[in-house]
């Protein structure tokens, strides 16, 4: 399955109003348990982030995003369906 990072980010912006920055260190789309994912940078630390809470709620009701995984201090992985 091919995912388009720009389309997923636009979907997130449209649904919950958050503009996310792609991670410039881990740039490729990778595989997590058979599902594609990519990394984004949050504006706050994962442990304190309200953006993360909104993303996790979106993942629970979305058909585009299956889950959000912490992947660094300010970085999360967006796992897509």
Per 3-state DSSP, what percentage of the chain is helix, strand, and coil (rounded to 5)? 35, 30, 35
Instruction: Give the ranges where the chain is alpha helix by DSSP (H).
Output: 5-16, 50-61
Please list the residues that pair with 31 across neighbouring strands: 36
Distance CA 81, CA 72 (A): 22
pTM: 0.91
Task: Note the pLDDT tens digit of each residue in 3-58.
Answer: 899 999 999 999 999 999 999 998 899 998 899 999 999 999 999 999 999 999 99
Quote the pLDDT of residue 3. 84
Distance CA 65, CA 53 (A): 14
């Amino acid at each position: 399955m091919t995912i388009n990072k720009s389309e997923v980010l636009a979907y997130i912006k449209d649904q919950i109003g958050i503009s996310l920055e792609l991670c410039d260190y881990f740039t490729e789309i990778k595989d997590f348990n058979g599902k594609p994912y990519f990394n984004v940078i949050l504006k706050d630390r994962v442990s304190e982030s309200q953006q993360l809470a909104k993303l996790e709620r979106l993942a629970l009701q979305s058909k585009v995003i299956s889950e959000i995984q912490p992947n660094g201090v300010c970085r999360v992985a967006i796992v897509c369906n």
